[in-house]
A and B are shown apart, each in its own frame.
Chain A
């Protein structure tokens, strides 16, 4: 972190003065880790039409937090991660075993998770308001340890992408074809959904439940408008996410609004731009 602070201190901003405003410097680093992470995952979420699924995972993460709080864990995030992972695996299992369309299965899971979360968090007449912070998120409250955890997750996702991306892509295109080429489709999908579960749950506190899914959809949706191959697609998605992340954080600092919401608005603007520039034919 010392190195990072020394680096940021070189920037010509008011908040970048040496020895002060550490929360802002932490937040900037967190954004620089979170945004490429979401930019990467986003490509596959959009490609395999899982945007509704990632939305449902966000809801399940909230339920996990509620369960964690109920059980009296000091750090309910871990309960939430565990719950989201179980949720993701169960969903994959049910989708595989039933003949229902994916979005129906997701709807079943999503509504159950939300209902359970609200039920548990309001049990015994307790107030729901303490969970409000989860809905909006607060990137400025991020601690160096959490940034370290996010960086570790980024490294793991990069490793997953290096090893599994091809197989994931084939599974999304045509499961039977992928299988005929030796891809274990079920496990690929399970690992990917667990990765989304972990990332969504861990970053929810800072990004906010209400907008987290937009970070998993918008970067790749925008990139899809203008790219013709996978390399361009990833580059656009990650760069768009990082640019919107930094711009959103700055905006929220200078005019005082939720950073998660500001980042999402920048991404939406980026989507609009790419839509107007979209490849024809």
Chain B
């Protein structure tokens, strides 16, 4: 697989900075979930977020999605568009940011009578999907799915898709419309080797075509070096930022994952 290292990686945050978090903190019922998290993502960069369970990865995502109250500022500077600034969850400059979100394993039962076309149309159009979907929306969904090479999935029930196919449909949806930043929650879990390869290829294609910054969480450290430009090690605070090699060989990484397991606990 390819190995791309991003040219702008080492520098400060220039106008090519797609997402910037400054001093982000989240408290939930008195407990501190995230403390003073600051980082930036460049446009066209794939960044992996790693950390143990309960490290606050989901809370970080939900803050960026605007689904959780937080303290601190978040700035979106989409390629070619005006910057959007949020402080403590309130928009203080620009319009509502468009965040493409690929959730972890949505609940579809095998027998759910929801076709990919139904799902797509429900999320992107006003046409009520309990009526037969007109050709216009069908063509539109087909075009969106073509971005992830999934146009043949259109009439399949959502519940019958494999893990990789489901991820591709959700990815196509997250790109409709093309967002300011793309967030993927554990996209590699529940996906086989073949699907994982396809998905990573696709993300690589998307980031260069749309100059999109992509933030994803993963537990799969072995593949980090193959796709991530940058890795963020999170455990309530941001412990380490750097290239995959830098983070995976750091004492912080070792401490977070190995010492914790050895002692059977430690800080939450």
The answer to whether B108 and A173 touch across the interface, beta carbons within 8 angstroms, is yes
The answer to whether B65 and A165 touch across the interface, beta carbons within 8 angstroms, is no
Cβ–Cβ < 8 Å partners of B107 in chain A = 173-174
The answer to whether A281 and B160 touch across the interface, beta carbons within 8 angstroms, is yes
The answer to whether B112 and A47 touch across the interface, beta carbons within 8 angstroms, is yes
Tell me whether B99 is interfacial, beta carbon within 8 Å: yes
Quick one: given A173-B108, A230-B115, are A179 and B65 in contact (CB under 8 Å)?
yes
Cβ–Cβ < 8 Å partners of A165 in chain B = 122, 128-130
Cβ–Cβ < 8 Å partners of B123 in chain A = 166, 170, 177, 181
Residues of B94-144 whose CB lies within 8 A of A: 99-101, 103, 106-108, 111-115, 117-119, 121-123, 125-133
Q: Interface extent on A, as a size class? A: 20 to 34
Least distance between A194 CB and chain B CB atoms (Å): 19
Least distance between B36 CB and chain A CB atoms (Å): 25
The answer to whether B128 and A177 touch across the interface, beta carbons within 8 angstroms, is no
Least distance between B16 CB and chain A CB atoms (Å): 25
Cβ–Cβ < 8 Å partners of A176 in chain B = 62, 65, 67, 101, 103
Tell me whether B157 is interfacial, beta carbon within 8 Å: yes
Q: B114: nearest residue on chain A (CB-CB)?
A: A230
Least distance between B14 CB and chain A CB atoms (Å): 28
The answer to whether A177 and B101 touch across the interface, beta carbons within 8 angstroms, is yes
The answer to whether A231 and B108 touch across the interface, beta carbons within 8 angstroms, is no
Q: Which of B106, B117, B127 contacts A229 (CB 8 A)?
A: B117
Quick one: given A162-B128, A176-B101, A177-B101, are A233 and B113 in contact (CB under 8 Å)?
yes
Residues of A130-172 whose CB lies within 8 A of B: 161-163, 165-167, 169-170
Tell me whether A104 is interfacial, beta carbon within 8 Å: no
The answer to whether A230 and B113 touch across the interface, beta carbons within 8 angstroms, is yes
The answer to whether A231 and B160 touch across the interface, beta carbons within 8 angstroms, is no
Residues of A159-210 whose CB lies within 8 A of B: 161-163, 165-167, 169-170, 173-174, 176-177, 179-181
In the bound complex, what is the Cα–Cα distance between A162 and B128 (angstroms)?
6
Cβ–Cβ < 8 Å partners of B101 in chain A = 176-177, 180
Quick one: given A177-B103, A180-B65, are A229 and B118 in contact (CB under 8 Å)?
yes
Tell me whether A227 is interfacial, beta carbon within 8 Å: yes
Tell me whether A122 is interfacial, beta carbon within 8 Å: no
Least distance between A219 CB and chain B CB atoms (Å): 13
Tell me whether A126 is interfacial, beta carbon within 8 Å: no
The answer to whether A166 and B106 touch across the interface, beta carbons within 8 angstroms, is no
Least distance between A97 CB and chain B CB atoms (Å): 11
In the bound complex, what is the Cα–Cα distance between A219 and B111 (angstroms)?
15
In the bound complex, what is the Cα–Cα distance between A279 and B159 (angstroms)?
13
Q: Mark B52-67, 1 if CB is under 8 A from A, else 0.
A: 0000000000100101
Interface core residue of A162, A177, A223, A234 (most chain B CB under 10 Å): A177
Cβ–Cβ < 8 Å partners of A51 in chain B = none
The answer to whether A161 and B130 touch across the interface, beta carbons within 8 angstroms, is yes
Q: A279: nearest residue on chain B (CB-CB)?
A: B111
Q: B116: nearest residue on chain A (CB-CB)?
A: A229
Tell me whether A224 is interfacial, beta carbon within 8 Å: yes
Q: Which of B122, B125, B131 contacts A231 (CB 8 A)?
A: B131
Tell me whether A43 is interfacial, beta carbon within 8 Å: yes
The answer to whether A228 and B128 touch across the interface, beta carbons within 8 angstroms, is no
The answer to whether A231 and B129 touch across the interface, beta carbons within 8 angstroms, is yes
Least distance between B138 CB and chain A CB atoms (Å): 12
Q: B62: nearest residue on chain A (CB-CB)?
A: A176
In the bound complex, what is the Cα–Cα distance between A257 and B125 (angstroms)?
47
Q: Which of B67, B108, B112, B114 contacts A179 (CB 8 A)?
A: B67
Quick one: given A166-B122, A176-B67, A224-B113, are A230 and B103 in contact (CB under 8 Å)?
no
Give the B-binding residues of A (Cβ under 8 A).
Answer: 43, 47, 161-163, 165-167, 169-170, 173-174, 176-177, 179-181, 223-225, 227-234, 279, 281
Query: Besides A169-B122, A177-B106, A229-B155, 7 other CB < 8 A contacts?
Result: A161-B130, A162-B128, A166-B122, A166-B123, A229-B117, A230-B129, A233-B130
